[in-house]
Amino acid sequence: MKKLVLVFSLLFIGQMAFAQAWSGKGDQKIQVGFNGWGYGTGITGTYDYGLSKIISIGAGANFFFDHNNNKYADDDFGVFGRLNFHLQEPLGLPEKWDIYPGIDLGLLGKSGTYFGAHIGVRYFFNQNLGIYLEAGNNGSLGLSINL
């Protein structure tokens, strides 16, 4: 039993050693999470694709169950494009961490277009799975997955 625990511990530590939150050009991430503030409470999903060591583009969608502001009461969904600037290398962060400010441009239900900004942080437990937090006019918290 002790040998089995040791083997699984070494495998887990080995997986954590190769965790990388941002690898630059060609890097792909999917994020799924919970919207807790901004236009409303609900779920969100995003996709990011690395264009360079610092820049990524992507898209996302939000589905709202409740609204924080009556102005957006009829807006149950939003779709958007996004542009992020990854600061892992410029700030000298460990490979498991990434900090990224970004902007969003999209459609918000019946309200029409919207423009937003956020700052996000990702931490990866292993090479495939991590967590993220984005704060801004439309913030979320959830899982980040390397593709």
- pTM, whole model, 2 decimals? 0.80
- Kindly state the average pLDDT of the residues 131-142: 91
Query: How many structural domains is the chain composed of?
Result: 1
Residue 35 has pLDDT above 60, yes or no: yes
Would you state the pLDDT for residue 1?
Answer: 52
CA dist., res. 131 & res. 126, Å (int): 11
Which residues constitute the domain of residue 136?
A: 2-146
Q: What is the pLDDT of residue 2?
A: 54
Residue 73 CA to residue 41 CA, distance in Å, equals 11
Sign (positive/negative) of CA torsion 102, 106, 109, 110?
Answer: positive
CB 124 within 8 A of CB 19: yes
Element (H, E) at 79: strand 77-85
Residue 38 belongs to domain with CATH number: 2.40.160.20
CA–CA separation, 75 vs 112, rounded Å? Answer: 9
